[in-house]
Amino acid sequence: MNVLEQAAARTQAITSPSADWRPGDFILRDAWFPVAHVPDARRGPIMRMVHSTPYYIWLGDDGWHAESRHPSDPTAGPVTVHAVHELYGHVWVWYGDSHNADPTLIPEIPFLWRNRSQPAHARGVNFFHCTYELVLENILDLTHIDFVHSSMTGAAEHAEEDAITFQSTSETVTMIRTVKGRLTSRFQREVLGVEEKLQDQTVFTHIFIRSGVCFLHSHYSTAPSIPLMQSNTPESRTLTRANFAFGIEQTDNMQFRHAWPATAPIIAGQDEFVLNPQNPRYYNRPPRRDCSTRFDAAGLHYRKLHGELVARQEAGDMSYRNDYREGADVASVLKIKRLD
């Protein structure tokens, strides 16, 4: 039984995704994954994994290649040639049936340049030692910020208003959290010189269920902010590659343009602190229902949509529905200026 068949067998056993959420048990196919920053891939051939499948990527005279075997590997045998595309400073590879690899399915990223990479200080990579669904839940559930990242973002426990709304398509979930009267963070006070004690904040997270790609952005009443694209590529059930790129062009504050991306490894380390031990508590434990609150609404909706996608793919339907393209323009949702 191969990996896909095992995943299908496990899927059969699931009756309700929220009652028995088993992240990592399902492999969603037919999606573009931004597996490498272009400057990294240009040094290739490099190897990247998607769902435990190796992709060797290099730039030849005739363009990008992504194959199942290193070009210098003398081993005989069949080679799988994968669809590959360069966009927004990333090399995207297709996981699934290459006949369905339509480049227009690559998400629009309005805060990144279509045909060039972000500068080195505004891009990078982190790893989370868990399955990518847990990373996406982490991103959709921003109440963890108050505990895990409060040194960077301030604490909201005593905020006068704290509301979460979400919207979705069949392929994406967008979460918006609005907090009034949130404490300003140490970072904002010490690095940005913010003097106010309290601020209003609106946080957006937008995730793509199949690929794990996400956008994060905040608006603070007291300070600037920079949107983030993070890849969250599922390399395996225990490792997620998070290539990231900051849309630094959204602010004119040059100090902030350099200082904020430098916090990425710190914030990732804080998330890794909880995600790493969280992972075996899902795959090593008997099924049980997680308890939730209204703050988890977006995450629970993600589980539901994920389950629906799994069911569709189990039935052989790999297609994207029309609402995916209709909801592709997130610039207005994120309230950012589009780069062309």
Partner 1 sequence: MSKENQWQVIGLSESLPADKPVGVHCDGVEYVLFRDAHGVPRALEDACAHRRAPLSLGCITNTGLIECPYHGWRYDGSGACKVIPNLSADEKVPRSYRVTGYAVHEQDGFLQLWTGGLEPTAPPLSLAMSPMAAEWFGERLIAYPFREFIDLLLDAPGAILDINGLASRDDHRFGDPILDAKSICVEYGVASRATARSGRVISDFPYSLVLNVRRDGRQSKLQLLDNSRKLLSETMLIARPVERALTAVKWRGTGTATQRGLLRITARDRIDPHAVMKAKDYCSRLCSASFAPTGEGEFA
* Least gap, CB of 177 to partner 1 (angstroms): 10
Distance from chain centroid for Cα 287: 26
* Least gap, CB of 335 to partner 1 (angstroms): 24
Helices 132-140/264-278 angle, 10° precision? 120
Looking at beta carbons only, is 292 or 322 nearer to partner 1?
292
> What is the dihedral angle through the alpha carbons of 182, 207, 334, 248, rounded to the nearest 10 degrees?
90
Long-range Cβ contacts of 78-86 (<8 Å, 24+ apart): 82/55, 84/57, 85/32, 86/38
Among 148, 229, 264, 300, binds partner 1 (CB under 8 A): 148
What is the Cα–Cα distance from 298 to 293, expressed in whole angstroms? 10
Residues 17-76 binding partner 1 (CB under 8 A) are none
* Least gap, CB of 75 to partner 1 (angstroms): 35
Among 40, 162, 171, 235, binds partner 1 (CB under 8 A): 162
> What is the dihedral angle through the alpha carbons of 247, 253, 255, 261, rounded to the nearest 10 degrees?
-20
Q: Which of 196, 165, 167 is nearest to 179 (CA)?
A: 165
Looking at beta carbons only, is 113 or 166 nearer to partner 1?
166
For residue 99, state whether it binds partner 1 (rule: CB under 8 A).
no
Looking at beta carbons only, is 77 or 286 nearer to partner 1?
286
158, with CB counted inside 10 A (0-12, 13-18, 19+), is exposed
Residues 224-263 binding partner 1 (CB under 8 A) are none
Residues 269-288 binding partner 1 (CB under 8 A) are 273-274, 277-278, 281-282, 285
* Least gap, CB of 199 to partner 1 (angstroms): 17
* Least gap, CB of 56 to partner 1 (angstroms): 35
What is the Cα–Cα distance from 33 to 48, expressed in whole angstroms? 10
For residue 325, state whether it binds partner 1 (rule: CB under 8 A).
no
Looking at beta carbons only, is 86 or 141 nearer to partner 1?
141
Residues 281-320 binding partner 1 (CB under 8 A) are 281-282, 285, 290-293, 295-296
- Residues ≥6 apart with Cβ < 8 Å to 12: 314
For residue 180, state whether it binds partner 1 (rule: CB under 8 A).
no
* Least gap, CB of 274 to partner 1 (angstroms): 5
Distances (CA, A) of 105 to 92, 148, 211, 325, 328: 11, 34, 11, 8, 9
> Per the structure block, which two tokens stand in for 290?
């997680």
Binding window for partner 1 (CB under 8 A); candidates: 58-66, 145-153, 199-207, 311-319: 145-153
Binding site for partner 1 (CB under 8 A): 137, 141, 143-144, 146-148, 156-157, 159, 162, 273-274, 277-278, 281-282, 285, 290-293, 295-296
